[in-house]
Every structure is written in C-alpha cells, then in structure tokens.
Amino acid sequence: NEVVSDGGGARREVTGFDLSLSVGERGGELVGGVEYATALFDAATVERFVGHLQRILEGVAADAGRRVSRLPMLSGAEVRDLAVWCDGGDAVPWGGAVHELVAARALADPDAVAVRSGAVQLTYGRLVERVGVFAGRLAAAGVGPGSVVGLRLERGPDLVVAALAVWRTGGAYLALDPDLPAERLSFIVADSGASLVLDGLDGLDGFDGVDDPGSVVLAGQVAYVMYTSGSTGRPKGVAVTHGNLVSLLAAMVSRPGLTDRDVLLAVTTFGFDIAGLELFGPLVCGGQVVIADRDEVRSPRALARLIDACGVTVMQATPATWQMLLDDGWVGSAGLRAWCGGEALPAALAAALAGRVAALWNMYGPTETTVWSACDLVTSDGPVTLGTPIAGTRWYVVDRWGNQVPVGVAGELVIAGAGVARGYLGRPDLAAERFVADPIAGDGTRW
C-alpha cells in the first residue's frame, strides 16, 4: 500500500524508500515530486514538508546571502496555530504585592482562619497584626528596600509572619532550608549578601520597632531569592520579583483553581520554590493554609490524618511524597485536589492516584520562571503531559538558532511571559546568557 505521487500526478503502489524527493527542470521551472511510504507518513504531513521546503526556497530567492538558519520555514497559519497552543493568555491583572493582598483580606474578614499548624492558628486579623509588629522590629534593625533577610525557621506560622514582614519593609527574603549542610548554608548566605539571618521571631527581641514600617513595593522589586540545587555546578540564586509571584498566584487561582473555601496542606520544604505557592496561594484568595511540621511531613500516616482532620481540599507534593502515601495504604480522599510537580510524574503513579482523589493535576516549571509555568489535568487512563501554559506564560519549541520548529519536530522548550524572573543574583554574565530578549514576540520581554 505504499504510494507515490509526483508533479505530474503519476502514482504507483510501491516505493523503494521511506521518503524521497525528486526535482527536475521543465519549461524553465523546477518541478518536484515526493515519494513516501504511507505506513510512515500521511498526505497532510508530506504536504507540510513540501510547504516548508517551498518557503525556504522562496527565502533563498529573495535573499541569497541570508544564512540558512535564518530562512523562513513556517507558514502564517502554522505560526498562528502554534501561538494558540502555546500561549496561556494574558496575566490576570491583580494589583499590589502579596502582603498587601493579605492585608486586604484581613480587612474584609479578620476573623477567618488564615494559618494553622498543630494547636496554633492565626486569623487573618491576628496574622496581619503580628506581621506589622515584626516588620517594625525588622525596620528598627535596619531592614528596608533592597535588603535580603535569610529565613531559616522551622515549619509553622512564624515562617509566614516573617516572610510577610520582610516584604512589608520593602526587603526580600532568602529561603533557607534548616536541614541543609552548614557549609552549603554558609555559601548561600554569603553569596546572597544577606544582611540578617533569622532562626526565629525572637531573633529581634532587642528592637522596639517603628511606628510605620510599611514601604511602597513595586512589581519589579525582588520578593525572594531561591537557590537552585547546583547539580550542574555552583548553586545559583534566582531573584524573583513581586510581579512574578503575584502573577503566578493569580494564574493558580484561575487554573487549577483556588478559592476562599479551600484548605491547602503545605508539606514542601521552605528551600524549594513551590513552598511559596503553598504558603501564600491560599492567603491571597481568603483560604486557609495548614502547615505540616517536620515530623508530619516525613510520616505518611500523619499526613493522611491531617488531610482528614483538617478537611484539606488541596495538597501539592512531589511524586515521591504521593507514592509514600500510597505505599502506606492511603485510600485517598474524595474531596482532595492533588497537585503533583517537582519531578516527572510516572504513568503508573498517575493512574493509581487519579482514582483516589477528586482531581489530579500535573504541574511543571523551573525556578527561573516562578514555580509553575504549565499544568495539566490528568486522568487515570490518559497520558501524562506538561499540559498547557498558565495565564501570563508563553511557550516556544525552538531549534538551536532560536527559530520555532514545526509540529512533530523536536526542539528546546523556552518559556516567556510574566513569570520570567529578574535573573541570577550577582551573576550578570550567566543571566545575560539564559534570560534573553524574546525575538519572536519582539516586544522587549524575555524568555
């Protein structure tokens, strides 16, 4: 059933090659024919191949001195289709920084529970009150716009208070995992230029505070510094702005979805960027965050008890944590929406998990584009993919010269949009190499 057609319309049933092109001159024109095995290619695919070749030849005819890598290949229709598939749409227009959004929630409903951990709980009103007091003490200690404050706190409400207070002064926090080796922590603190490292809120007991520590915070100011694992060399500090973070949280409220009725169980170490979504996502929309302590995070039975006892509706975790729950015999929760990210989600785990929860979402994104850049609703019998970009995010699959590749062609994924961080802290050379102007959009933004 192998078929060939040429420029003259001739056909035959057998071809000697999987794919071949013949070109000859006829009447002063080039006439071509494509021969292909129908077991491997369909007519539409081959027609795309021919169209790409024709556009390349047209580009040569228009400018014979142009580099091959710069010749056009995609049609206008293909470019439009790629934009539809790979554009998450405009960023949700939220105004203000996270601590300002939380303060607005406190004004609207001060008695609603914002943060719980063990026997301790803070209402929105009490949370914002504590943030104001601690921000005053930070300001009295010299913390202000441009400052970097290391937070090496145990899991609990004080972690949320400290981060919001740093933002209220205009500073940025440096996320420090207390479990990291001392040598690595020392490197991160020194490399970041942190002016202060806190192990607890009592670290500023000697400061009386100031009356109004609040600073005007702009979207382009750094909100936090998160160090990558350094698996390929020296660890890099990624500087994420307030605009980056608010855009991410707004996108998550839209899809996969967060509301003021949600209770999110936070299980991720503070030194991993997805912790920022866990701690602050519920708070900007009036929901509640339950923070599992260090021992609970390591115990699947303790996590299962928390899910049931606290009425948890959303939990975000790595595949390893979800697998730990299943291996311990967790039967699931009909009211729980499971978000899975940080590592590739195995198909077997996805199938097992999807049948035990209300919804399973696969999340994807590097630290450099602010936590998540895409998500996909996974079903028990469907494929596991990266899904589609979140709001405010664009994707391109490009060749090594930065040109978009056609459907079906392998390339490198690059991410653009509102989540793209400011860059690498103190590494302008590396930042210039990795965070580059978006040549496709041509609007001054970066990918």
**Hey, which CATH number is domain 98-434, 3.40.50.12780, 3.90.1150.10, 3.40.50.10470, 3.40.50.1970?**
3.40.50.12780
Q: What is the dihedral of CA 382, 385, 390, 396, to 10 degrees?
A: -140
Distance CA 226, CA 367 (A): 8
Name the strand (E) or helix (H) holding 21: strand 19-26
- The answer to whether residues 346 and 383 touch, using CB atoms and an 8 Å cutoff, is no
Q: What is residue 391's DSSP assignment? A: T
Distance CA 77, CA 83 (A): 10
- The answer to whether residues 375 and 364 touch, using CB atoms and an 8 Å cutoff, is yes
Q: What is the pLDDT of residue 208?
A: 74
Q: What is residue 336's DSSP assignment? A: E
User: Which of 285, 244, 276 is CA-nearest to residue 163?
Assistant: 276
What are the beta bridge partners of residue 216?
none
Q: What is the pLDDT of residue 18?
A: 94
The angle formed by the CA atoms of residues 293, 294 and 296, to the nearest 5 degrees, is: 65
Provide the 3-class DSSP secondary structure of residue 376. Answer: strand
Q: What is the pTM of this model?
A: 0.90
Q: What is the pLDDT of residue 3?
A: 46
Domains of the chain: which residue ranges?
Answer: 3-73, 98-434
* pLDDT, tens digit (0-9, with 9 covering 90-100), for 277-330: 999 999 999 999 999 999 999 999 999 999 999 999 999 999 999 999 999 999
Provide the 3-class DSSP secondary structure of residue 144. Answer: coil
How far is CA 282 from each of CA 102, 241, 375, rounded to the nearest angstrom?
A: 10, 19, 18
Q: What is the pLDDT of residue 2?
A: 44
- Say how far residue 78 (Cα) sits from the centre of its chain: 26
Tokens of 31: 């006439």
Distance CA 200, CA 162 (A): 9
Instruction: Collect the ranges in the chain with pLDDT lower than 70.
Output: 1-12, 206, 211-212, 230-233
Q: What is the pLDDT of residue 231?
A: 58
What are the φ/ψ torsions at residue 25 (nearest 5 degrees)? -100, 135
